[in-house]
Structure 1
Amino acid sequence: MRKPPLSLLSTGNCLKGAMFGRWKLATCAAAFLLFLTGEKTLAQPAPRVVTLEEALSAAAKLQPQLRQARSATAAARAVADEAMAPLLPQASMNLGYERTTANYTSRPGTLPASATGSGNFPMSWKTFNFFSGSATVNQLIWDFNQTSSRWRAAQARIDGQRESERAVALQVALAVRSTYFTAHVDKELVEVARQTLHNLEKHLMQTEGMVAVGTAPEIDLAQARTNLATGRAQLVSAENAYLTAKALLNQAVGWTLNLDYEVADRTVDPVEGEDSPIEVLEAAALKSRPELASLQRQLDAQLLTVRAIKGGYAPTLSGNLSVTPGGTALDSLSWNVAGGLSLTWPLFQGGMTRAQVREAEAVAEQLSAQIDQERMQVRVDLEQARLAVRAAKALLSAQLDAVVNARDQLRLAEGRYAEGVGNGIEIGDAQVALTSAEAQQVQTDGQLATARAQLLYALGHW
């Protein structure tokens, strides 16, 4: 024979004992309603659970900041290809056709009078076909590294942009982790608020029973009802904060999920070397931080640009080859071939080249200063993150003790009240102390997780 659910047996027994007092009947009714609500809740489908790994993976594909960074890298590659183009042969072709008359026009000084006779030529409006064309190839031979240095500078900027893209990826990962941990903290605070509300409901039922039999004053009932209303308001605020945190998580990831999902429960593993001396962490961070690598590659590119500009003091040598057909019929064209060298030397341009060199060198010095500044920022980031980790771990140990003590305090207060030697204010104070201790423990857990995320970022790790 199948047994009825334990909850039904408990409810039935409760109803059988309702004859012992009105407060007992109220307690049974509340328990029965909670049972029905629980059965309805179990029938609802489980919400989707989002893990941190899933959020990070989605952000790597969807986050608009990363897409912008990838586009900037693609643009840098295109600029490098543009800079390489002058090093390659430049070929062009031109074809022409015209229908023209053939009347001779004499210009003064073009031919001697003995060659033209009287200079009078018959006019004719007869027209002829004339086909023309040209094919030309130009090749830069040597320009004292002006073009090649600009191309190498563009290549260095590609590397710098790749590092900038990696820096954006680290910033996105930090934002996702931080908002995820905030959402997880808010989720735990919702659970704390629910547990607090559950305790307050039990306190109210207990107080109603004791007031009904005359073992507690009416003011205790008023205090219990006030505490319950406050607990409900705190639960609403906690749930709203959790929904807001999930909205911010959606923004950090770059997706448009509804807010009906749950963030997964997880523990944050310690960061490798989080207790190491600052010198050890700094040495590792200086090798892996993409901001430093990006600035260094930008400096390399700028120094190559200085070299390219200085090449403008020297001449440029180029060669050309051309083929030019022409004639009145396509089957009887005349062909000419020409080849040559061209040497171009800008001897004086009003000091423009010298000014360009000074400008480029000043930009290089600016980048060098930015590198030194970024090195100091790396150390500050490491100091802040490791100190935050250390403080959170120490605070968490104290918070755990506070929660244990607050639970004992509430248990003792409930026992004193049940024996008639305590009062409602004592229970309320104990419940507030427990709620505060549990909330602070949850928040400290979140602070430790966020501090470790910041340490990962400071070390240049994804």
Structure 2
Amino acid sequence: MTLSSLSPSLRRRCRPLLPATLVLALAACASSGGLQPQGRLLDADSLHSERTLATSDLAVAAFPASDWWRAFGDPQLDALVAEALAGHPSLDAADARLRQAQAQAGVARADRLPSLSVSGGYTGVRLPESMVGEELGGRYMGSGQVAFDFSYGVDLWGGKRASWEAAVDTVHAAAVDAQAARLKLASGIVQAYVELDRAWRANDIAEQELERARKTVQLVRQRRAAGIDSDLQVRQAEARIPAAQQQLQAAQQQIDAARTALAALLGQGPDRGLGIARPQALDVAALQLPGVLPSELLGRRPDIVAARWRVEAAGKQIKVAKARFYPSFNLTALAGVVAPNVGDLLRSGSTFAYLGPALSLPIFEGGRLRAGLSGADAQYDLAVAGYNQALVDALREVADQVNAVRSLEQQVQSQQQAVATAGSAFELAGQRYRAGIGNYLDVLSAQSQLLGAQQALATLHSQQLLAAARLTQALGGGYAPPADGVAGPVSSSSSVSPHS
């Protein structure tokens, strides 16, 4: 029964009840009260790093350039990075995720717009007389129809706009993630190349040790022939040769492993590594530390920028969840023509139309809307926590690498002195042994000390190169905001306000 089917007097009595009924319906609506996110964005300036970074003697300068690896001065390294960035499965995956986010943003945008569709068809039927009688049965009846269907959901509370904006923010995050993937790949190439350089240095040291061992064996054999030394000294000296050969073989295995790793980072098979020559003499360029940390780091680290965009998207999803608590208004219209014969579709008597505005109001959802809003709040808190953690990790990485660069520079200087001293000791022990005033144990001890000092220096040199590369990566690896300004909001004041 509808209001229009009641008698006029009863309808007059019912009209005053309509406002009261509406008030009761609104009072019974699901409420979002008491639900709000708890996450708060960290202020970068509250994470003090002045004292830690002030102890560094690095020069103050700008952030790294986008092609920072060229500072190592090796054209082969430059070519390898360019080859990797030209096409790698990890980059393809990042680009695919970006296109996926763009497609989802397109869907969210389409949900804000009206929809119009057209349909047409022809229906024919013949029913038996035994079922519908002689009037309709026993003959064929057909009709053709063309209809236009229009639908539009009015965005009264901005929920659809917020959903679209959240999707756009996700696109921004995916675009930054794609840049981060390129930075990670370039950094991986550089670090694998440094490992190849370290393996070649180990190979050089092993060859020098093998040469020293062979010369010592010749000297000991001469002394035994002269009746000065015994077979014991000869066997001790000869034992150094296979040990040096084993070190040489191990270094070659490390060279092969580094080449294979580089081939994989290039997205190629192991044979690609066979064509990678020995690196040139890599050296640490004059490292420079920007004097605008930590605040400027927010816009230079792609992981922080992407995390900030995700916070923005999560905040807008809270608006979407809140909009579901309010009434929604939809407008549907259907118009078209229908006629028994297709040729009669254009006649005025064949038209039909339908208009269906609809207002819906959630009253009882069994807690579904509150659960959805609570989930959106939790997702926002997760995004904020991810952003805060990324910020803390970024400053820790910068501080760690600054400390490493400073310490390794001092360690290399000390170890160079140790190598020089061990080399002098080995030469002196050899001279005394040849002169007959020293023994073979002194030579053996000095030789072992020299080998250890050389190996330690090679390791420290590689650690220096790695620390330089990691510091550059910690400073953003040359990432810069795009020219269109879509770098991402990097201050807490630019955040959406899901707490209101």
State the TM bucket, normalised to the shorter chain: 0.7 to 0.9
User: What SS does the aligned partner of 2:289 have?
Assistant: coil
User: What SS does the aligned partner of 2:358 have?
Assistant: strand
Give CA deviations for 1:236-268 in whole Å, capped at 9, x if unaligned: 122222222322333344332424333412213
- Is this contact kept in 1: 2:166–2:317, CA < 8 A? yes
Alignment of 1:148-167 (within 5 A): 148-167=161-180
Deviation of 1:337 after TM superposition, in Å, equals: 4.8
What residue identity is the alignment partner of 1:297?
W
Match 2:377 to one of 349, 358, 361 = 361
Deviation of 1:321 after TM superposition, in Å, equals: 4.1
Aligned to 1:314: 326
Distance 1:165 1:105 in 2: 71
Distance 1:134-1:104 versus aligned 2 partners, 3 A rule: farther
User: What SS does the aligned partner of 1:421 have?
Assistant: coil
Distance 2:237 2:206 in 1: 16
Distance 1:105 1:151 in 2: 58
1:88 counterpart = 2:113: yes
Distance 1:342 1:407 in 2: 94
Root mean square deviation, CA, Å: 2.6
Distance 2:110 2:321 in 1: 18
Deviation of 1:83 after TM superposition, in Å, equals: 0.8
Q: Which has the larger radius of gyration?
A: 1
Distance 2:94 2:437 in 1: 68
Give CA deviations for 1:92-131 in whole Å, capped at 9, x if unaligned: 2222222234899999xxxxxxxxxxxx964541213321
Distance 1:440 1:303 in 2: 52
Match 2:156 to one of 143, 151, 154 = 143
Distance 1:248 1:187 in 2: 15
1:302 counterpart = 2:314: yes
Distance 1:150-1:247 versus aligned 2 partners, 3 A rule: same
Deviation of 1:395 after TM superposition, in Å, equals: 0.3
What residue identity is the alignment partner of 2:252?
E
Match 1:349 to one of 364, 372, 380 = 364
User: What SS does the aligned partner of 1:254 have?
Assistant: coil
Distance 2:128 2:149 in 1: 30
Aligned to 1:231: 244
Match 1:72 to one of 76, 80, 97 = 97
Greater mean deviation of Cα atoms: 250-259 or 304-313:
250-259
Aligned to 2:279: 264
Deviation of 1:67 after TM superposition, in Å, equals: 2.2
Distance 1:327-1:444 versus aligned 2 partners, 3 A rule: same
User: TM-score, normalized by length of structure 1?
Assistant: 0.79
Aligned to 2:466: 450
Aligned to 1:402: 418
User: What SS does the aligned partner of 1:100 have?
Assistant: strand
- Is this contact kept in 2: 1:172–1:252, CA < 8 A? yes
Distance 1:124-1:436 versus aligned 2 partners, 3 A rule: closer
Alignment of 1:40-189 (within 5 A): 51-101=76-126, 122=135, 124-189=137-202
Q: How many residues align?
A: 398
- Is this contact kept in 1: 2:130–2:137, CA < 8 A? no
- Is this contact kept in 2: 1:193–1:235, CA < 8 A? yes
Aligned to 2:405: 389
Greater mean deviation of Cα atoms: 50-59 or 95-104:
95-104
1:340 counterpart = 2:321: no
What residue identity is the alignment partner of 1:137?
F
Aligned to 1:211: 224
User: What SS does the aligned partner of 1:98 have?
Assistant: strand
Aligned to 1:283: 295
Distance 1:123-1:197 versus aligned 2 partners, 3 A rule: closer
Query: Identity over the aligned pairs, expressed in percent?
Result: 20
- Is this contact kept in 1: 2:123–2:144, CA < 8 A? yes
Match 1:419 to one of 432, 435, 441 = 435
Structure with higher helix content = 1
- Is this contact kept in 1: 2:112–2:155, CA < 8 A? no
Give CA deviations for 1:4-38 in whole Å, capped at 9, x if unaligned: xxxxxxxxxxxxxxxxxxxxxxxxxxxxxxxxxxx
5+ residue gaps in structure 1? 1-48, 108-119
Give CA deviations for 1:57-77 in whole Å, capped at 9, x if unaligned: 233234432222221111101
Distance 1:76 1:125 in 2: 58
- Is this contact kept in 2: 1:204–1:221, CA < 8 A? yes
Distance 1:104 1:149 in 2: 59
Aligned to 1:24: none
Deviation of 1:320 after TM superposition, in Å, equals: 4.0
- Is this contact kept in 2: 1:186–1:238, CA < 8 A? yes
What residue identity is the alignment partner of 2:422?
A
1:293 counterpart = 2:305: yes
- Is this contact kept in 1: 2:196–2:279, CA < 8 A? no
Distance 1:247-1:102 versus aligned 2 partners, 3 A rule: closer
User: What SS does the aligned partner of 2:294 have?
Assistant: helix
Distance 2:405 2:412 in 1: 10
Distance 1:50 1:246 in 2: 17
Aligned to 1:14: none
User: What SS does the aligned partner of 1:338 have?
Assistant: strand
User: What SS does the aligned partner of 1:422 have?
Assistant: coil
Distance 1:51 1:156 in 2: 38
Distance 2:362 2:238 in 1: 94
- Is this contact kept in 2: 1:223–1:425, CA < 8 A? no
5+ residue gaps in structure 2? 1-73, 479-500
Distance 1:130 1:399 in 2: 96
